[in-house]
Structure 1
Amino acid sequence: MPAPLSDDVSARARRYLIQMTIRVVCFLGAVVVDHWTRWVLLAGAVVLPYVAVVLANAGRERRSDPGTYLDAPTPPVLPPGPGPAGRSGAAD
């Protein structure tokens, strides 16, 4: 049985908040640090919002029960018929 929607939403919101806190720490660290690690911190501050939004918007996992999906029937194949009415099919 899947978890309630409210639990899923709160877990995603909590994960987003943690990632945005890490982003703020990266920005503050980039301001304070005067070393090559400044560029790593800035890269983290730029990339983290994209990752956080993608993970926050990720939907709930689908159940792996094969009975939840229906196979669409294949349409019947019709034999070729005559062209449109009034045309002989020859090029004009």
Structure 2
Amino acid sequence: MKTPSRAQSATSLPKAPRDDADSRFTKYMVMMGIRIACFIAMAVITPYGWYTFVFAAGAIFLPYLAVIVANVGQDAAPTTAINPERAIDAPRAAAPTPAPAADEPLVIRIAESPRLAPPRDDRS
């Protein structure tokens, strides 16, 4: 059984499958809309000239390109993991604290704030 070496970072997670499918569908529909516009422009715009062939090429080749773009999934652009510990700058101390002498014991003091009383309900 394979055990992961470290926890998954939220910044390295891939896009959700539904969001990925929605973006690919949107790209496909935009390209197909451009294809329909090319087809209509090819048939309607007169006099026919060199641009008619450009519209015809768009109407012919855009479906192929749209399918290729729609089928390219998340694997096409791998994302690199960002270590969240490295992304946050540590606060800098104003002055370094003096190191204790060799014969002096190291003491760590923890002080707690006083406990506050719960709020009273004065609706009675």
Corresponding position: 1:36 with 2:36: no
Report the RMSD for the aligned CA atoms in angstroms: 1.3
Asked whether the 8 Å contact 2:20–2:73 carries over to 1, the reply is no
Q: Verify the 8 A CA contact 2:39 2:56 in the aligned structure 1.
A: yes
Shift of 1:32: 1.2
- Structure-2-length-normalised TM-score: 0.49
**Shift >2 Å, 4+ stretches:** 61-65
> Which residue of 2 is the match for residue 13 of structure 1?
25
Higher helix fraction: Structure 1 or Structure 2? Answer: 1
Q: Tell me the matched-pair count.
A: 65
Structure 1 residue 35: deviation in Å? Answer: 2.2
Structure number, greater radius of gyration: 2
Query: Contact 2:38 / 2:58 at 8 angstroms: preserved in 1?
Result: yes
Query: Aligned equivalents of 1:35 and 1:10: distance in 2?
Result: 38
User: Could you report, residue by residue, the CA deviation over 1:8-63 in whole angstroms, capped at 9, with x for unpaired residues?
Assistant: 00000000000000000000000012222000000011110110001101121244
Q: Return the letter of the residue paired with 1:40.
A: V
